[in-house]
Amino acid sequence: MKFAWLCSHESYQPEDLVKQAVAAEQAGFDVVLGSDHFHPWVDDTSAAGFVWSWLGAVAAQTTNVQLGTSVTCPLFHYHPALVAQMAATTDRLSGGRLLLGVGTGEALNERPLGFPFPGYAERQARMQEALEIMHRLLAGEKVTFHGEHYTTETAKLYSPPVGDVPILMAAGGPKSAQFAGTYADGLITSVKDSAETVAKVIAPYRRAASEAGKQHLVLATRWTVLADGPSEAWEALSSMRGLRAPGRLEATDPAELRIRADEMDPAEVLASYAVVPDAAGLIESYHPLVTEVGADIVSIQVMSLDPMGAIEMIGKEVLPQLRAAATR
């Protein structure tokens, strides 16, 4: 079992996230992930760096930690062939350390650039075509593809990856999980209730992957807030508070999400996160992802007023306990 640290590009500037990534490797994390956003969730205490430039910088300043996106959308402002090229280049720069996490996106990152954001049925249809294009390009093929949504003409990666680049797809329900098992190389899922996630997401994914003759690869994530009390927790969560605002799936302007979030009771927003004061709380929060979910990769996603201190503390006090639990 591997443990990942998520670098939140909606919360910190890219130069600060490079420092987080280096610190995470030094602290003993196995994987460093980066979110991919054009717009953040609020407009006042946020950031939105370009994750693919950042991954190149992280590749140059780390040696062993795997790198990945959680997640990139290859459907609209990125053509899937371009995502394959970005992934291959990053894989080469990192010496074969890339995991490519993809998802069907959010209006927040597409409509500001003039792209539509259709319903899920069309986005899933686009994803099926995108996965075929990306898989074939990453496998070294010269791809001529004429689909309903995408076209390529003799497309080929002339700087191919140095090895296999697994493509993991984000899913939160059984239909998406089955789709990921059939068409992707792995699953990314956010866990609130472990038993529910296993039943509704991971089990359907595993069945579909087995039927497709594929290996299983599950990356399980959970957001926590490391804070001593509600006031500190609300401050730590500031850049992500729009994530729980009503209408977030249709919004294009982070200012609107900030206004909606600030109209909510902070206690209501915080109730959707695990708020813990210390290492023991983090261990308790992530222990089910290790022992009940049985993930291959557990992504530790922590909002804190001192992220560098949190990384160091987790490396010393949390990861050893979680690794021990994984081997029992």
In this prediction, residue 175 carries a pLDDT of 97
> Distance (Å, rounded) from C-alpha 188 to C-alpha 180?
9
Q: Are 155 and 143 in contact (CB under 8 A)?
A: yes
The H-assigned helical ranges of the chain are 14-27, 51-61, 80-93, 107-110, 120-138, 174-183, 194-197, 203-211, 230-236, 254-263, 266-270, 279-291, 307-313, 319-326
Phi, psi of 130 (to 5 degrees): -60, -45
Q: Are 10 and 35 in contact (CB under 8 A)?
A: yes
> Distance (Å, rounded) from C-alpha 172 to C-alpha 190?
7
186: tokens are 């792995």
pLDDT tens-digit map of 181-231: 999 999 999 999 999 999 999 999 999 999 999 999 999 999 999 999 999
Residues catalogued as catalytic: 37, 106
> Distance (Å, rounded) from C-alpha 172 to C-alpha 184?
15
| pLDDT at residue 328 greater than cutoff 80 | no
Query: Counting runs of H as helices and runs of E as strands, what totals does the chain give?
Result: 14, 11
Domain annotation for the chain: domains and CATH numbers: 2-326 (3.20.20.30)
> Distance (Å, rounded) from C-alpha 111 to C-alpha 184?
26
Task: Classify residue 151 by burial, with Cβ atoms within 10 Å: 0-12, 13-18, 19+.
Answer: middle
Where does the pLDDT of residue 283 fall: very low under 50, low under 70, confident under 90, or very high at 90 and above?
Answer: very high
Q: Are strands 186-190 and 218-226 parallel, antiparallel or unpaired?
A: parallel
pLDDT tens-digit map of 97-120: 999 999 999 999 999 999 999 999
User: Please, what is the average pLDDT of the chain?
Assistant: 97
3-state secondary structure of 186: strand
Average pLDDT over every residue of 1-7: 98
In this prediction, residue 46 carries a pLDDT of 97
Average pLDDT over every residue of 11-37: 98
pLDDT tens-digit map of 116-146: 999 999 999 999 999 999 999 999 999 999 9
User: Residue type for 88, please?
Assistant: A
Where does the pLDDT of residue 55 fall: very low under 50, low under 70, confident under 90, or very high at 90 and above?
Answer: very high
3-state secondary structure of 267: helix
| pLDDT at residue 294 greater than cutoff 90 | no
In this prediction, residue 93 carries a pLDDT of 98
In this prediction, residue 100 carries a pLDDT of 98
User: What does the DSSP 8-state code read for residue 205?
Assistant: H
In this prediction, residue 305 carries a pLDDT of 98
In this prediction, residue 16 carries a pLDDT of 98
Where does the pLDDT of residue 19 fall: very low under 50, low under 70, confident under 90, or very high at 90 and above?
Answer: very high
User: What does the DSSP 8-state code read for residue 218?
Assistant: E
Strand partners, 298: 3, 220
In this prediction, residue 147 carries a pLDDT of 98
Q: Ramachandran region of residue 96, left (φ > 0), alpha (ψ -120 to 50) or beta? A: left
Q: Are 50 and 86 in contact (CB under 8 A)?
A: no
| pLDDT at residue 249 greater than cutoff 90 | no
In this prediction, residue 275 carries a pLDDT of 96
| pLDDT at residue 298 greater than cutoff 80 | yes
In this prediction, residue 104 carries a pLDDT of 97
Q: Is the pTM of this model over 0.75?
A: yes
> Distance (Å, rounded) from C-alpha 300 to C-alpha 309?
14
User: Residue type for 172, please?
Assistant: G
